[in-house]
Structure 1
Amino acid sequence: MRLYQIAALVAPAQAALRFGCSTLSIQRLDPLVEPGKLPSAHVHQIVGGNAFNATMDKDPSLAATCTTCTFTEDFSNYWTAAMFFKHENGSYKRVPIMQNTALPNGINGGMTIYYTQQDFNTNGNKKITAFPKGFRMTVGSPTTNTVDAAKKHIGLRFVCLQDKGTRFPELPDFPPKACKGGIMTVHQVLRPRFKLLVVSSSFPSCWNGKDADSPNHQDHMYNTQPEAFSPAGPCPASHPVRMPQVAYETLWDTAQFANMWPKDGSNPFFLSYNDNKGYGTHADYLFGWKDDSLQKAMDSSCMFQACENGKPLKSQAVAAMNKCAVKSAVNENIDGWLSALPGM
């Protein structure tokens, strides 16, 4: 009997994690899709452990010395494509990243990370198995080029916030026009013409029970959720092991571009691989939790902030999160007004 089959006999718990990770680096590296390539094809924003590099050929839980995430035992890396604004004069500027208001103030950009078991209230009475060492996966693809194909990536959506609590409607592509209302910042609400974009990235949670990766970084996993943060259906026989549902939320602060919306009404935002539709939004995950810390969390009954301060996970203050960083391995300018997207 395999270990995961034995684990399934243990009584399930109800834990769910939601935590912030400040920005670790913003650069052209992609150790999953383009391992060893310096630079990779397009710019990513990365959070998590400071062992992040072009190859990721070592266990990050052993190689990292700090993490930008709330939990100090989490040296995983999480990354997504960066976003740029295109001016009518043809120049580009990177859109800054903001923290979620559900998190402590002062987090430097980054993302909100979720590990849920079925939804925010239950694990569906299933044993949840933590990811094994060396595990990695992706969701979505930058080569997706139609809205119909984008709709099939259930866990990848855009939301144009109208107020602090807005999470719907969820769109498979960029909003077709400027959003009305205010923009949520760390400390206050401003009121430009359009506001913050939330990009939601949700990964499959059914594992085949044997492979820590697959050639396309996706086939070892299977999705049974109709949409992000919703109850998942049973895992199929081909992928029988229920793992945590990993999701990211990235908040893009569009305030500084409020008076620059193109006169013809066209969308001015581009993901870093030259996509102004949003069809190819994607995300990457590389597991790096220390020892059995994630399994302890999944076996507990804690929810969100109640999982911090050793109950059961060790946590750190925002200042320590923001202090952790890695130097860029690529010598290029990605800030200010640029004549072209980096790498394009």
Structure 2
Amino acid sequence: MGRNTRKRRTPLAAKVVAGAAALAVGGGGLVWANFHASAHEEGPAHHRTRSAAAQVATIDCPDVGQQLSGVPDRARGEVDGELATMDSQITEAYQRLATTRRAQAGDPQFVQNTILGPLKDRRKAIIDRIQLEIDRAGGRADDNLDQLAGCQGRPAEQPQNGDGQNGDGQNGDGQDGGGQDGGQNQDDNGNGAAGPVADDFIDINDVEPNSRDSENGLAANGDGGSTGTFTTDCGVNENNLFNSDNLIAAPGVDNGAHHVHDYVGNQDNDAFSSDEDLANADTSCRNQGDRSTYYWPVLRLQDGTEEFDANELGGGAEGNVGRILKPAQAELKFVGNQQGDVVAMPKFLRIITGDAKSFTNGDANANSSWSCTGFEDRQVTDKYPLCPEGSQVVRTSNFQSCWDGQNIDSANHRDHMAFVQEDGGCPNGFQAIPQLQVRLVYDIPTPTVENGQVRNPYAVDSFPEQLHKPITDHNDFINVMDEDLMNEVVDCINSGEDCQ
């Protein structure tokens, strides 16, 4: 497999992470291993004396980007770059956390004094620059952003409520927080990565039918509104288009995602692609009028395979290891609205659904849905499903389908879009647009879970500190349909036809 080979500059954010990555790669192999192991490394893993319960598992930082609104257009590029640098700082701090377990075992204040304290200072400097850039561009920066500088160390099993993220200390009583019992006390499943663990998986038979609170994931169309559909066939990434950029959230920043994406549709997708580049690019879609960008984090089978990116940032150097699994099917469908007609999407509209940082941010923006073929009335957000023989893993993302009528993006990449309300209509001031539904189906050998240990797990690529949790799954879209095709999509949906 390959990846985008377009020549790029190396921004400051990438250089920061490159220095940190040196901590994680040694002798051609990953020393991410034994993330949950104790300071006593000698002997077989199952005989080691573990002190993991006395250690924090990950870095939990308030998401500054989610708190930004009203950023002037001419400041957004600089602000996005600063936020990407902040993500790199978290990655560097997490890598230091993962490679200093011996020191942590000997000094209960090590994490605070050498990792979290300096991280807070560096984040404060970036927040100050963000405020200055907003003010210089004629905006009004929030004076309270400084409160978001401090991060916490937390056990992996801390409840995901998103509360209490503004502190600068560690969780509970220093490093003595609990919550790493069960699967988290196991080493690393032998795969050299921090997760997933046994508790991240559930037998699909143990999921109650129709039990998921799927307000954000409900299909938008219904009997009383625009009932048609439009399906676009863009393949399953047969062209091996992979990179760890994020054109929406971190434009102009190499490795802005810190994890690898699959791309279908537009074939000029990297951090440096302009709208003009997208409009002139080739497309993998059967309908050549659809040059839209559809992308999502890859799934990997952690079976020891060394992929093309085994030693690269975004890949193995940041804990995303194992064999990349392409979908067996990638179904891209646009549907209507329960209350009435839909209007055309503007060209270059950007939508992110789900939250790549849901494990530390909390689940307010989580919109992942995992299931198995033959069991799709059973959906789960925060677990990977264990499917029975003959059944395939299914990932579903139903996007926001209400648009503010003005903006193709917003400072936090969310405010210009909304989900439908309980009655199926859009909030005041928003217009219904075709709702994108992405359904990905995978042939994955079912992992074995025994005695609190999972063998050969599969997992979504993630920011390193998110520990490959299933709740961090997300999906991204940039509309680059030509005007004629978008009008056809709208006409099909509003007239109740099923088109492709």
Normalised to the residue count of structure 2, the TM-score between the two structures is: 0.46
d(CA) in 1 for partners of 2:300 and 2:472? Answer: 15
Match of 1:285 in 2: 477
Amino acid in structure 1 at the alignment position of 2:273: M
User: What is the SS of the residue equivalent to 1:131?
Assistant: coil
String of CA shifts for 1:190-233, please: whole Å, max 9, x gaps.
xxxxxx2211111111111111100121110111266xxxxx62
* Alignment partner of 1:253 is 2:443: yes
The structure-2 alpha-carbon separation of the partners of 1:26 and 1:272, relative to structure 1 and needing over 3 Å to count, comes to: same
* Alignment partner of 1:96 is 2:325: yes
d(CA) in 2 for partners of 1:279 and 1:95? Answer: 19
Q: Which has the larger radius of gyration?
A: 2
Within 5 Å, give how 1:91-130 maps onto structure 2.
92-100=321-329, 111-118=330-337, 124=338, 126-130=340-344
Amino acid in structure 2 at the alignment position of 1:51: D
Could you tell me whether the CA contact under 8 Å between 1:95 and 1:252 is conserved in 2? no
* Alignment partner of 1:236 is 2:236: no
**Count of aligned positions:** 252
* Alignment partner of 1:70 is 2:286: yes
Find the partner of 1:17 among 218, 230, 242: 230
String of CA shifts for 1:99-129, please: whole Å, max 9, x gaps.
33xxxxxxxxxx21110003xxxxx462211
Report which stretch shifted further, 85-94 or 28-37: 85-94
* Alignment partner of 1:79 is 2:79: no
* Alignment partner of 1:215 is 2:438: no
Q: Extract unaligned runs of 5+ from structure 2.
A: 1-224, 306-318
Q: Which has the higher helix share?
A: 2
d(CA) in 1 for partners of 2:398 and 2:226? Answer: 21
* Alignment partner of 1:270 is 2:459: yes
d(CA) in 1 for partners of 2:491 and 2:346? Answer: 15
The structure-2 alpha-carbon separation of the partners of 1:73 and 1:85, relative to structure 1 and needing over 3 Å to count, comes to: same
State the Cα distance separating 1:181 from its structure 2 match: 2.5
State the Cα distance separating 1:69 from its structure 2 match: 1.9
RMSD: 2.8
d(CA) in 2 for partners of 1:145 and 1:57? Answer: 31
String of CA shifts for 1:18-59, please: whole Å, max 9, x gaps.
233221512212111121222331101111022323233224
Could you tell me whether the CA contact under 8 Å between 2:351 and 2:477 is conserved in 1? yes
Match of 1:45 in 2: 262
Match of 2:32 in 1: none
Runs of 4 or more, structure 1, over 6 Å off, are 88-91
Amino acid in structure 1 at the alignment position of 2:298: A
* Alignment partner of 1:159 is 2:358: no
Find the partner of 1:142 among 353, 356, 370: 356
State the Cα distance separating 1:154 from its structure 2 match: 6.7
d(CA) in 2 for partners of 1:83 and 1:254? Answer: 10
Could you tell me whether the CA contact under 8 Å between 1:160 and 1:175 is conserved in 2? no
Could you tell me whether the CA contact under 8 Å between 1:15 and 1:116 is conserved in 2? yes
Could you tell me whether the CA contact under 8 Å between 1:14 and 1:298 is conserved in 2? no
d(CA) in 1 for partners of 2:369 and 2:267? Answer: 28
Could you tell me whether the CA contact under 8 Å between 1:269 and 1:276 is conserved in 2? no
Q: Extract unaligned runs of 5+ from structure 1.
A: 1-11, 101-110, 119-123, 184-195, 227-231, 309-344
Instruction: For CA contacts below 8 A with separation 6 or more, give which structure has more relative contact order.
Output: 1
Match of 1:182 in 2: 390
User: What is the SS of the residue equivalent to 1:80?
Assistant: strand
User: What is the SS of the residue equivalent to 1:62?
Assistant: helix
The structure-2 alpha-carbon separation of the partners of 1:45 and 1:158, relative to structure 1 and needing over 3 Å to count, comes to: same
Could you tell me whether the CA contact under 8 Å between 1:60 and 1:75 is conserved in 2? no
Could you tell me whether the CA contact under 8 Å between 2:421 and 2:427 is conserved in 1? no
Could you tell me whether the CA contact under 8 Å between 1:173 and 1:279 is conserved in 2? yes
